[in-house]
Structure 1
Amino acid sequence: MLQYSPAGQGQISERRRRLLIGNCPRQPDRRGFVADASGDYELAIVEFDDQGCYYERAQMAALADQVARLVRQDTDAVIVVFVHGWNHNADPLDAGLLGFRHVLSIAARHERQLNPARPRSILGIFVGWRGRTLFHPVLEYLTFWGRQAAGRRVAGGSVRELFGLLRRYRDARRAAGGCPLLAVIGHSFGGMIVYSVLSQSLIEYASSPDPQDSPRFADLVLLINPVLEATRYLPIYDILRRPGVPLHGHDTPPVFVCVSARNDWPDRILFPLGHAAARMMQRCRSRLERRCLGRTIGNIRPFRTHRLRGPVDGEMFSLTPTGNANRPGTPFWIVRAGSHVVDGHDGISHEPFQEFVGSLLFQHQGRTSHGTGPHSAA
């Protein structure tokens, strides 16, 4: 069982009151063996520094021991990874961490409904890094470009070891006939980190000639307001627009979902400002390529496949196709969200969006939990 060291939790709100403006070097309240446990799920936290190295190798060691135990016991798990973004960290009171815990509770609820006799264990992994550097309501916005550079360093660092550990677990369970589920979520610069690590496997999956093929790394990749240039998505968009038979069936659950808020002004203003000079030095072969320079994925209209609103007619959320779906049954979704679901550059703090994320996981739980192999609770 993962153990949690609560040292420093009570100091957080007091530190924030004292430090109205100042530098946040790291999360000093998260030392040593960092993990949490509750009745519905287990939560592990792994933190990285500005150079992309582990803050504490013991955090990764604790997670590796837990994953090894799952393999030894032939246990299938629903593993959900969350990489936070700009102006967030691994503070226990951080809105991103609190929202992620709620998502894990929703996933556990869906799993119990789907497999009441033998529900799979739920393991959440919160990837923390120095997304917040200043405690100030105005000056913190000046850190946007510096944190973008830090996120790029994190994407090329030890986080790849963590992702590799999870991929090996998924491969081992699938080879044994098990039914694991691996979902990776990234918010803001965390979305940039996730996409940087997993883009190759996503492109390989999109270009696969076998309709029965499955993603090489994760069952679901979800990006929320990713601070990621739209040109990075163009290779997948080009593949999905090729004429011919759809690569995947209509019942294929989404493999890649990018959700962007209508009123996300950092992505619409700060991001283009930081790329203005680079745009002047680049040449493009099409109007679409030129439009993608200096803009994020969700701000390119031809990419969008769905609209997300909520609450609607008594439901937490409403998801409707836009008519721009690249191909029938495509598992790649670019979703435009209303402010009642995702407000501004927010992550997963709104309940309608938390329910939406849970529903995405539920689609994959339904698909994976009816496999031929055994699965058991932890």
Structure 2
Amino acid sequence: MKQIELSALRAFVIAACLLSGCASNDIYRSDYRACTVTPANACEQNSLHLYNDGAANEYTLGFVEIDDQGQMRDRKQMQALLDTLYQKAAQESILLTVFVHGWHHNARPGDSNIEGFKDNLARISEIESRRSRELGRPPRKIAGVYIGWRGESIDVPPFNYLTFWDRKSTAQDVGYLGITELLVKLEEIANVRNSMTPPIKSRLVLIGHSFGGAVIFSATSQILASRFVDSQENKSFTDTAKGFGDLVVLLNPAFEALRYSPFYDLAQARCSYFPEQLPRLAILTSEADDATGILFPMGRVFSTVFETHRDIERDDCNLPLSLDEGEADRNTVGHYPPLISHTLTPATTESNSRLASYTNMKHLWSTQTPGNATQYGSTVLTHLNKTNPRNPYLNIRVDESIIADHNDVFNEKVMEFIRLLIGLSTDD
């Protein structure tokens, strides 16, 4: 059955390409020299950009492009980025944010995801400058890495909306292959400065949207599981749960809830967490995301028709879970209610919740109670009492007024929440 589906999909893609046109399969950023962006020079061919040099919102942005088979389009492009970041990290602490885009996007100059990512890096830089003055410490340099891949194989509407499953398969290849090497090396860069005991540590945050969320989850899931267990030699004590880098954020991710369920079980089996335990994985899915809420399960019905599933009952730490493997295999992680641990809703004047700021977030997080609600900027994060307080894995159902649809992930409401979450996980 799967082979027939793949053959039919290939035939469709070929026919559509002939009728309309396939998306570009060339590298976009072919000049690997660093370039200072000015109003007169957008540095569109360069893979290394410096923005707002000397200003409070200064940041560096690098591009790495991956092909459909999960290989670097040019390893020299990756190496130029790594060399620059290694040099920067050896001299001063950095806050490194990685973004992997999803369906319909790529590394083409002007892509809306690139522009949204740039705006968010500038805001993070402004916040870091302000926090450094408040705390009397040196500011970390802000660096971003945009990982580009061919987010659609056909770029002519309406054919591009029929490439969902073709791109899902490609996202899995991208996640399972070359990107893991890049992410591990970026984590190593963040640790360079930390080995020198600096005044403020370097930090690493990963953000993935849509199939980009699937890419990051595929690339890091086994590492996440291993670090949660943390089987350090001769270790005779329980520690806080570690993650990949300092925080992984997945926005409207397009992968099956069944792939996440072992992580839910792993974290749930630990009945308590230390007050200093911080979030390590945050999944945010809009209730109005039809791509992952409707289109994805429609396709999975045919993909799973010959697979066997069963019902699973769990009662770890007196928190029961009933898991229907078939439903979890057909629905995405953010649209399978049994695994959703939190909601994110708009704050109101009547909101009876604790108000988080960059100065008190760690205290509020460490003193959570079951069913706790905390206001982060203009949104309220509510614990649904289905997981343990301070559980480092959050699967958050987001109100449509905060994320309107599948692609509405760079609006200020959700970005404000994510920046506060980044601050919680990295502000030391």
- TM-score band, normalised by shorter chain: 0.7 to 0.9
Q: Does 1:353 align with 2:389?
A: no
Per the alignment, residue 215 of structure 1 pairs with 242
Per the alignment, residue 69 of structure 2 pairs with 51
Shift of the 243–23 alpha-carbon distance from structure 1 to 2, 3 Å rule, reads closer
> Whole-Å Cα distance in 1 between the matches of residues 185 and 415 of structure 2?
26
Alignment counterpart, residue 188 of structure 1, candidates 203, 206, 210: 210
- 1:317 deviates by 2.8
Per the alignment, residue 67 of structure 1 pairs with 85
Q: Does 1:91 align with 2:113?
A: no
Shift of the 322–301 alpha-carbon distance from structure 1 to 2, 3 Å rule, reads farther
Task: State the number of aligned residues.
Answer: 345
Q: Deviations over 1:147-170 (max 9, x none)?
A: 111111111222122112112223
- 1:103 deviates by 1.5
> Whole-Å Cα distance in 2 between the matches of residues 364 and 92 of structure 1?
31
Q: Does 1:36 align with 2:56?
A: no
Aligned letter for 1:230?
Answer: A
Per the alignment, residue 132 of structure 1 pairs with 152
Q: Is the 8 A contact 1:83 1:127 kept in 2?
A: yes
User: Which of these two proteins has the greater Rg computed from alpha carbons?
Assistant: 2
Q: Is the 8 A contact 2:243 2:280 kept in 1?
A: no
Per the alignment, residue 375 of structure 1 pairs with none
Q: TM-score, normalised by structure 2?
A: 0.75
- 1:113 deviates by 2.0
Alignment counterpart, residue 171 of structure 1, candidates 186, 191, 194: 191
Aligned letter for 1:260?
Answer: T
Alignment counterpart, residue 337 of structure 1, candidates 377, 389, 398: 398
> Whole-Å Cα distance in 1 between the matches of residues 221 and 165 of structure 2?
22
> Whole-Å Cα distance in 2 between the matches of residues 197 and 54 of structure 1?
14
Alignment counterpart, residue 124 of structure 2, candidates 107, 121, 127: 107
> Whole-Å Cα distance in 2 between the matches of residues 235 and 91 of structure 1?
36
Shift of the 66–257 alpha-carbon distance from structure 1 to 2, 3 Å rule, reads same
Aligned letter for 1:154?
Answer: V
- 1:277 deviates by 3.0
Per the alignment, residue 284 of structure 2 pairs with 259
Aligned letter for 2:304?
Answer: R
Per the alignment, residue 201 of structure 1 pairs with 223
1:277-296 matched pairs, under 5 angstroms: 277-286=302-311, 288=323, 289-296=325-332
> Whole-Å Cα distance in 2 between the matches of residues 180 and 56 of structure 1?
27
RMSD: 2.3
Aligned letter for 1:86?
Answer: W
Aligned letter for 2:197?
Answer: G
Per the alignment, residue 11 of structure 1 pairs with none
Q: Is the 8 A contact 1:107 1:361 kept in 2?
A: no
> Whole-Å Cα distance in 2 between the matches of residues 280 and 134 of structure 1?
28
Per the alignment, residue 23 of structure 2 pairs with 24
Per the alignment, residue 139 of structure 2 pairs with 119
> Whole-Å Cα distance in 2 between the matches of residues 140 and 316 of structure 1?
36
Q: Is the 8 A contact 1:225 1:347 kept in 2?
A: no
- 1:171 deviates by 3.4
- 1:316 deviates by 5.0
Tell which deviates more after alignment, 202-211 or 254-263: 202-211
Alignment counterpart, residue 231 of structure 1, candidates 258, 261, 284: 258
- 1:202 deviates by 1.9
Aligned letter for 1:201?
Answer: I
> Whole-Å Cα distance in 2 between the matches of residues 27 and 107 of structure 1?
31
Per the alignment, residue 141 of structure 1 pairs with 161
Amino-acid identity (%) = 30
Q: Is the 8 A contact 1:32 1:58 kept in 2?
A: no
> Whole-Å Cα distance in 1 between the matches of residues 415 and 85 of structure 2?
26
- 1:176 deviates by 2.9
Aligned letter for 1:107?
Answer: I
> Whole-Å Cα distance in 1 between the matches of residues 68 and 263 of structure 2?
30
Q: Bigger relative contact order, structure 1 or 2, given CA contacts below 8 A and separation 6+? A: 1
Aligned letter for 1:334?
Answer: N
- 1:312 deviates by 4.3
More strand by share: 2
Aligned letter for 1:202?
Answer: L
Q: Deviations over 1:37-96 (max 9, x none)?
A: 1121100011111111222333212111112203432x2110000000010111222121
> Whole-Å Cα distance in 2 between the matches of residues 51 and 28 of structure 1?
14
> Whole-Å Cα distance in 2 between the matches of residues 284 and 173 of structure 1?
48
> Whole-Å Cα distance in 2 between the matches of residues 249 and 305 of structure 1?
19
Aligned letter for 2:51?
Answer: S
Gaps in structure 1 of 5+ consecutive residues: 1-19, 370-378
